[in-house]
C-alpha cells in the first residue's frame, strides 16, 4: 500500500467564488437599497386613501399636486437654496483652512484637525439646540453685542434662514475641508516651487497651478456637503421658521401627520433626483476613490 507524502486538500471554492463571497455583504446591502428606491418610486404613483393608507391604483395625482402648487415649488427652492448657500460658504471657508493646515507642522496640524472635528463627536440635536442658546434673542451673541454697545437686540436671525445656514455650516465644514486637504497633500511640492521659480507670484501660482490641480478634492467636498445639507431635517426644524420649509420636513409631516405615504414618496423621489443631478454633474470630474479621500 502506497501513500502520497504530499496531501492536497480538495478545493471547494475557487478564487472567483471567494471574491464573490467577500462581496456578498456589500451586494446584499445594495440589493436592499435598490429595492427600497424601487418601492419608493412605485408608491409615489399609488392613490392616497382618505384617513391614511394607500391603494395600489396608478395615478399621477401626487406629482400633479407637487408641481401644480406654488407652495411646493417654494419648498424645493428653499431646499436647493439652503444647499447652495451652505456649500458655497463651506467652500469659501474650507479651502483656505485646508491650505493653512497643509502648511502647519504635524503636531499643530493634528491639534487643528482635532478642534475641527470635535463637533462631529456630539449629536446633531445637541449641537442644534446649542445654536438656539447662542443665536436666540437673549442668546450669548446678543448679550455680548449689547454689552459692547450695539443695542438691545442687534442680531435677530433666529428662527430663520441664516440661523439654519450657520448651524449647517458648522456641521459640514469638516466634510468640506478633509477632501480638499487630501488633494493638497497629494500634490508634488516641487510643482509650487517650480511655478515660483519661473516667475509666477503666489496668487498666480495658486490660481493657475494649485487650485486647478485640487479640483477633484473641491468637487468631492461640494458633493458631500450639498447632499448632506439637502437631506438635513433636524436643523431646519429647530432653527428654521415656517417660511423656511424644506423637503425633508414636509416629507416627515406627510408621513406622521397626514399619513399620505404616496405623496411623501413623490417628494422623496424629487429629493433623490436633485441629489442625482448634483452627483452626475460632477461625475466627469471626480473618481469614486477621490470622493472618499483615498
Q: What is the CATH number of the domain that holds 149?
A: 1.10.3720.10
- The reported pTM is 0.82
**pLDDT tens, 152-204?**
666 777 888 999 999 999 999 999 999 999 988 888 877 877 877 777 777 88
Q: How many domains does the chain have?
A: 1
Q: Specify if 64 maps to a domain.
A: no
**Bigger pLDDT: 289 vs 165:** 165
Q: Specify if 220 maps to a domain.
A: yes
Q: Specify if 24 maps to a domain.
A: no
For residue 276, is pLDDT > 80? Answer: yes
What are all long-range contacts of 151-159, with beta carbons under 8 Å and residues at least 24 apart? 158/131, 158/132, 158/239, 159/239, 159/240, 159/241, 159/244
Which structural domain, as residue segments, surrounds residue 224? Answer: 70-291
**Average pLDDT value over all residues in the chain:** 83
Q: Specify if 141 maps to a domain.
A: yes
Q: Specify if 91 maps to a domain.
A: yes
For residue 12, is pLDDT > 60? Answer: no
**Bigger pLDDT: 149 vs 129:** 129
Q: Specify if 252 maps to a domain.
A: yes
Q: What is the mean pLDDT of residues 52-73?
A: 89
Give the integer Cα–Cα distance in Å for 158 and 174: 24
Q: Is the peptide bond before 159 cis (omega within 30 degrees of 0)?
A: yes
Give the integer Cα–Cα distance in Å for 88 and 3: 74
The model's confidence at residue 292, banded by pLDDT at 50, 70 and 90, is very low
* Angular region, 51: left φ>0, alpha ψ -120 to 50, beta rest: left
Query: Which sign does the torsion angle of CA 44, 50, 52, 54 carry?
Result: negative
Q: Specify if 149 maps to a domain.
A: yes
Q: Specify if 93 maps to a domain.
A: yes
**Bigger pLDDT: 202 vs 2:** 202
What does the pLDDT read at residue 65? 92
Are 100 and 116 within 8 A, CB to CB? no
Amino acid at each position: 500500500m502506497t501513500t502520497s507524502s504530499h496531501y492536497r486538500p480538495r478545493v471547494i471554492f475557487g478564487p472567483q467564488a471567494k471574491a464573490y463571497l467577500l462581496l456578498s455583504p456589500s451586494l446584499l446591502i445594495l440589493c436592499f437599497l435598490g429595492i427600497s428606491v424601487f418601492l419608493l418610486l412605485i408608491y409615489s404613483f399609488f392613490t392616497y386613501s382618505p384617513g391614511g393608507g394607500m391603494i395600489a391604483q396608478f395615478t399621477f395625482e401626487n406629482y400633479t399636486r407637487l408641481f401644480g402648487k406654488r407652495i411646493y415649488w417654494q419648498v424645493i427652492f428653499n431646499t436647493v437654496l439652503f444647499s447652495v448657500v451652505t456649500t458655497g460658504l463651506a467652500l469659501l471657508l474650507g479651502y483656505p483652512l485646508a491650505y493653512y493646515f497643509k502648511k502647519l507642522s504635524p503636531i499643530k496640524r493634528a491639534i487643528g484637525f482635532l478642534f475641527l472635528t470635535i463637533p462631529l463627536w456630539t449629536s446633531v440635536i445637541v449641537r442644534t439646540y446649542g445654536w438656539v442658546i447662542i443665536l436666540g434673542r437673549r442668546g450669548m451673541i446678543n448679550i455680548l453685542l449689547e454689552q459692547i454697545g450695539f443695542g438691545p437686540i442687534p442680531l435677530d436671525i433666529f428662527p430663520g434662514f441664516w440661523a439654519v445656514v450657520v448651524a449647517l455650516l458648522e456641521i459640514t465644514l469638516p466634510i468640506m475641508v478633509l477632501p480638499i486637504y487630501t488633494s493638497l497633500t497629494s500634490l508634488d511640492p516641487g510643482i509650487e516651487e517650480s511655478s515660483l521659480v519661473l516667475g509666477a507670484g503666489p496668487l498666480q501660482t495658486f490660481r493657475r497651478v494649485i487650485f486647478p490641480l485640487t479640483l477633484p478634492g473641491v468637487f468631492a467636498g461640494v458633493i458631500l456637503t450639498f447632499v448632506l445639507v439637502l437631506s438635513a431635517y433636524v436643523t431646519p426644524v429647530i432653527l428654521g421658521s415656517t417660511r423656511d420649509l424644506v423637503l425633508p420636513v414636509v416629507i416627515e409631516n406627510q408621513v406622521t401627520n397626514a399619513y399620505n405615504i404616496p405623496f411623501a414618496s413623490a417628494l422623496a423621489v424629487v429629493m433623490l433626483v436633485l441629489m442625482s443631478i448634483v452627483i452626475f454633474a460632477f461625475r466627469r470630474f471626480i473618481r469614486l476613490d477621490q470622493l472618499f479621500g483615498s
